[in-house]
Amino acid sequence: MSKLFPLIFLSCMFLACSTKNKAQNLDVAKTLESVGLQPVVKTDSEWKAELNDMEFYVIREKGTERSFSGDLWDHKGEGVYTCRACALPLFDSKTKFKSGTGWPSYYEPVKSEYIRESTDHILGYPRTEVMCNRCGGHLGHVFNDGPEPTGLRYCINSASLDFEERQDP
């Protein structure tokens, strides 16, 4: 019996994770449907064909670029920052602020339905990951030390973003 315990335990963990992932996928689908969006689903080889090495590392493998190394951390244009993987508008330049961290920082997304959050304790303390809700791409993390009106700091990798300049009407 003692030799079977690890196998039974792992099987239960797999089933629990599988059930949780299915529930999360249903929640994502419902959220996307409510704002008129379809999910973007691709294989790793399809993503690798579309993204450069750093973009793939950050967006698909949940990596982090070095601070002050991305092309958008000190960007000052007027417009919208979009998901580099699927072009979903994520953050407006009006919500961007200088956090001093070396990564682009925003105090709120364009629409809360456009991002997904997941909290982990991998580093020994709670940390909330931010992902694109349409393609599931890793963007960065959100912290509770931002400016008003939200008090939030969405600390986002430049490799996860593109920028679309605002067009005059």
- What residues act catalytically? 155
Task: Tell me the three state secondary structure of residue 154.
Answer: strand
- Left if phi > 0, otherwise alpha if psi is -120 to 50, otherwise beta: which for 10? alpha
* CA dist., res. 153 & res. 96, Å (int): 9
DSSP 8-state class, residue 142 = E
For residue 88, what are the CA distances in angstroms to 21, 27, 110, 115?
23, 18, 10, 10
